Homo-oligomer: A and B are copies of this chain.
Amino acid sequence: MKNKKDENTEQKIIDTAERLFLEKGFAMTSTTEIAREVGCNQALVHYYFRTKEKLFEAIFEKKIKMFVKPFLESKDEYKPFEERLKNLIENHYELIKANPKVPFLFLNELLTNPVRLESLRKKIGDLPKMLLAKIDEDLKTEIKKGTIRPMNTIDLFISILSLNITIFLISPVLKNIINLSDDELNNIIENRKNENVLMILRCLKP
């Protein structure tokens, strides 16, 4: 019977690599360091994953899926647009809150490594465009009804993304520079979900 402490070394390598990649990015994390933290020989990392790149990709892809999946499950609730939007923002926010370091990982790796960006594009294809088109439909309908002011879907999308990710991107810096306690930071994070919803809904008003 496997002890929790003595679990699968392969899994331990994945977990440790994930933690380190999230903390310091791909370039700043060495397989040597991963092995050291796991407490195994460095060759073992390569035994299971052949290359550092493949190990990273396994983790990266997992995270991509985690962030794409919720947007595919179109719970086409027959609720008013505003309510659906509110849910979307809140769910997105909670997803990031549960994985606060992922936005930086995405940003860092997609910006510094063109290959990774290209492979992502190939993988997800025009899924983003389709999702945007779907919101666009709703938006146009509402605009015609006059319930919201004229605006581009892409702008709405950027606004939501901006508000939702940035607090998590900057929080370690903020905490240090403004000298925030854990509690203060948590309060801010707790408060921002509502703040973001409020801002988006207000900015839609005609």
Contact = CB atoms under 8 A, between A and B. Distances in A.
Q: For the complex formed by this chain, how many copies does it contain in all?
A: 2
19 contacts: A25-B108, A106-B173, A107-B107, A108-B108, A117-B172, A117-B176, A121-B176, A128-B178, A129-B178, A155-B188, A155-B195, A159-B195, A161-B166, A162-B162, A162-B163, A162-B167, A163-B163, A199-B199, A199-B203
B170 A107 contact: yes
What band does the interface of chain A fall in when counting residues whose beta carbon is under 8 Å from B? 35 or more
A104 B111 CA distance: 9
B28 A172 contact: no
Contacts of A202: 199, 202-203, 205
Interface of A: 23-25, 27-28, 104, 106-108, 110-112, 117-118, 120-121, 124, 126, 128-129, 132, 152, 154-155, 158-159, 161-163, 165-167, 169-170, 172-174, 176-179, 188, 191-192, 195, 198-199, 202-203, 205
